[in-house]
Amino acid sequence: MIGPILQWVNTLMFFYYLACNLVYLRLLVAAIKASVLQNRRQKTAWLDRVRRSPLTPPISLLVPAHNEERSIVESVRSLLRLDYPDFELIVTNDGSTDGTLLQLIEHFQLTQSDYLYLPQIETKPVRGVYLSRTERRLIVLDKESDGSKSDAINAAMNLASKPYVCVVDADSMLERDGLLRIMAPVVNDPDRVVAAGGIVRVINGSQVKNGSVGAVRLPWGFLEMMQVQEYLRAFLIGREGWNAFNMLLIISGAFGVFRTDLCKQLGGFRRGAIGEDLDLVVRMHRHLREQEQKYRVHFVADPVCWTEVPSTFKSLGNQRARWHNGLAECLWHNRRMLFNSRYGRIGWVAIPYMWFFELVAPVFELLGWMSILVAAFLGLLSERFFIQFLLFGYVFSTLISIGSVLIEEMTYRRYENWRDLARLICFCFLEHFPYRQIHSVWRLRGIWQYLEGHHAWTKIERVGLGESARPSAAGI
């Protein structure tokens, strides 16, 4: 009896992984086409036209900060140097217990003011509004924390006076022309584009000086390198591919632009949502589909946001568990969109993909490994099938990862050193094993945290942007 069951489970796992990889292969093809078009666009004067166009809308930059004393000054300096016609910068000190607010007060000469704060979106109480004596575009909110990033963003959104808001993480840096590039779809189609996202890249290993990224190099740690590869795959294939089919469900919380009036109409970022970036975009799709409006959520792979990624197993595991916890919470909150014809391709394709190939993927992977091990122990496993299964998964996944590196090299070329390119390709062969299995354990923990009701904004340990530099040769 157990033999046919195990055979059925193993066959199911094979076709599950086949379907998953075929989806990613289709996304890869779409991403390559989009990258070729982007490469042609870069050779034109489109960026200068966005800069000079009277139709380029003003932006409010929103920066939530909780215990970010190591990176907040460099991050704010970087944002104030952005090349964009009209923007304001609103930083929310979300109940930090370190020196985040003191660092801002000291470096930007902040003074508490009676600036009018109108809480259109309900948040935890704001303790004070600070203005800078040296930089008129900078506003700093000091508020009580409720343990969620969403509440910090909403408090800043209440002060936003521009038609578009751009959410940027406090531990991230935008390239100087990043806003111009991410706003290009909005300028080109202002009536339909309601949100746009840019690519997030790993800053670990690169040199940061005076609020800007100098020499772009790869990190040397195993975990950081795996995240470089992971980010390239997720953005250059995943989001670029879904964008090609107008089914993009997520704009990174580290770098995304949203229409202000629509955000406020939806009540801002939902309090209690861990995956606040995914949740907001899904609710936008849901609302606009119900209103039968024509719209587009856009991804632009060219504008770059640099972020420091975790360098320890503990921090990375906590981050990935939180991400998967947020995915589970968002999908359950919007569960009635699943296979609902009212939401078109979003309800029939994008949402089911997130359920069956993202959320439950670690469960299926655990089930697959358990069934294979039990079958091998009982002598019921075909050696030929086992080898074919492992080789198929390993080769297919590795080729997809190499595809993301090739897109990077053909179009964007942020890593110009040939040694960095060679290392990127070498690490493609390590992503499927052992990193994937470790990552699956973290995601399973995220599902368990969701079932337990754990919804706190966990803090990730970081070195700080001002110290993100490549080690000396002596330390290699």
Rounded to the nearest integer, the mean pLDDT of the chain is: 88
Residue 205: give its domain's CATH number.
3.90.550.10
pLDDT tens-digit map of 371-417: 877 877 777 767 777 777 778 778 888 988 999 998 888 777 888 78
Whole domain around residue 246: which residue ranges? 46-319
- pLDDT score, position 475: 32
- Asked whether residue 378 is domain-assigned, the answer is no
Q: b or e along 371-398 (b: 16 or more beta carbons within 10 Å of the residue's beta carbon)?
A: bbebbeeeeebeeeeeeebeeebeebbb
pLDDT tens-digit map of 74-119: 889 989 999 999 999 999 999 999 999 999 999 999 999 988 898 9
Contact call for residues 19 and 349 (beta carbons, < 8 A): no
- Asked whether residue 190 is domain-assigned, the answer is yes
List strands edge to edge, sheet with 110-113: 110-113, 126-132, 138-143, 87-94, 59-65, 164-168, 255-259, 193-202, 296-307, 172-174
- Asked whether residue 363 is domain-assigned, the answer is no
Q: Look up residue 294 and give its two tokens.
A: 């024509």
- pLDDT score, position 1: 62
Domains of the chain: total: 1
Question: What kind and span of H or E run contains 130?
Answer: strand 126-132
- Asked whether residue 329 is domain-assigned, the answer is no
pLDDT interval class at 471 (50, 70, 90): very low
pLDDT interval class at 467 (50, 70, 90): very low
pLDDT tens-digit map of 41-74: 766 667 788 888 888 999 999 999 999 998 899 8
- Asked whether residue 84 is domain-assigned, the answer is yes
- pLDDT score, position 55: 84
- pLDDT score, position 290: 96
Kindly report the pTM of this predicted structure. 0.90
| Nearest partner of 60 among 172, 179, 174, 148, judged by Cα | 179
- Asked whether residue 7 is domain-assigned, the answer is no
- Asked whether residue 18 is domain-assigned, the answer is no
Side-chain-side CA neighbours of 118 within 13 Å: the count stands at 4
pLDDT of 303 higher than 50: yes
**CA distances, 50 to each of 5, 84, 178 (Å):** 60, 9, 12
- Asked whether residue 181 is domain-assigned, the answer is yes
- The DSSP output letter for 274 is S
User: What span, in angstroms and rounded, lies between the C-alpha atoms of 386 and 366?
Assistant: 16
Residue of higher predicted confidence among 334 and 431: 334
pLDDT of 359 higher than 70: yes
Q: What is the DSSP string of 170-238?
A: TTEEE-TTHHHHHTHHHHH-TTTEEEEEEEEEE-TTS-EETTEE-S-----SHHHHHHHHHHHIIIIII
